[in-house]
Structure 1
């Protein structure tokens, strides 16, 4: 399985994502610059956190127009796995690959600390190794993590089981305590907490490991099924 870690001007969690893939599952992983126009070689695309293009205009607002994002959309349409973390989540909403938007934290302060999350949907390719309702500890680091969508969109997401993670103690004012969501198909997930920063005891938690092992498990299951056919 091959992973791509996108790199925009201002990305600062790309190395964390790269190392998390190396440490947790040992699969091939490459850095891919924002000007890339071909992601066909990759099975999973990680859109990392940071301050892409300095977070000018809005977080992720400029990144959505980067050449690589057309390829991310194509990969998502093909059923490949796309995970946006923090600024990556913001980019995916700006690119309309996920519904809703990320607003300034309700406190108007940057929040950087561990949070407790509940795994609300363990049936996505990113959460298969978690138990439904499992509580995990993952760090956050954001100033614009306040998830918002209109009521109709929220009800649709509930009906489609698109809410993947919820905060135990909401740190930013997110609607319905939402910490992470998926698209309807389930192959695109965005989340504000940083699982790549929770893969080693030295970092304070290993609860993020299961996200990466889940992705590999889902990919192998998919390919085993294809080979049987």
Structure 2
């Protein structure tokens, strides 16, 4: 299989993602420019990745402009046909703006940019990412100013009933509480998936936790899940 990493004007984690997938996990990676509109080289066994950064400067809302890029039209089509898609940080925001994932990402409750290691844990094993991670508590970096996940009560109820919540922020012991929440996200939600379980979004950066040289490879379990999905 292969991974396609989309590069938007303002992306700043695209090369990090490429390095993690290609050099740390040994996967084939194709860099994709946001103005292109051809994903014909990819099949449903492949994966499209929307990396972190500040697409189009995030001058309107985070991800709001990127959602209308030519490549995103193809990503929406790819996802609706069952193709695997992963959005990280700004990529998560874009997926929500595009309607591929429910909810929105709002300004952090403390109104400050946060950049630090946090702990997350899988909510369930009803998706391939959760199965790959298991019951392990992962230490993954975050870096965002608008990473507070929010959804209305009806959407949250649906996410819970359908087991679409993939990750929650927790402490080092795996306890979920407000003190382990870096941005005020509703119910400590750090990542979700769609009902079909082929589109995933998360705020923490797994690509920044894949190298032994950085003394943290917790992110590998997340990215490796996409190499095994059918």
Fold-level similarity (TM above 0.5): yes
Matched, 1:189 2:191: no
Q: 1:78 aligns with which of 51, 74, 81?
A: 81
- Structure 2 gap ranges (5+): 171-179
Matches of 2:120 and 2:127 in 1, distance apart? Answer: 16
Q: Aligned residue pairs: how many?
A: 218
How many angstroms does 1:202 deviate by?
2.4
Q: Can you list the C-alpha shifts for 1:35-67, whole angstroms capped at 9, x where unaligned?
A: 111112221000000000001111001000000
Matches of 1:74 and 1:188 in 2, distance apart? Answer: 12
Determine helix, strand or coil for the equivalent of 2:16.
Answer: helix
Deviating above 6 A after TM superposition, structure 1's stretches of 4 or more consecutive aligned residues are none
Matches of 2:41 and 2:130 in 1, distance apart? Answer: 24
- Structure 1 gap ranges (5+): 223-229
Determine helix, strand or coil for the equivalent of 2:112.
Answer: coil
**RMSD, aligned α-carbons:** 1.1
How does the TM-score come out when normalised to structure 2?
0.92
Query: Counterpart of 1:134?
Result: 136
Query: Counterpart of 2:55?
Result: 52
Matched, 1:212 2:226: no
Q: Can you list the C-alpha shifts for 1:75-134, whole angstroms capped at 9, x where unaligned?
A: 111111100000000000000100000000001000000001011133323343211x42
Query: Counterpart of 1:61?
Result: 64
Query: Counterpart of 2:148?
Result: 146
How does the TM-score come out when normalised to structure 1?
0.92
Matched, 1:176 2:180: no
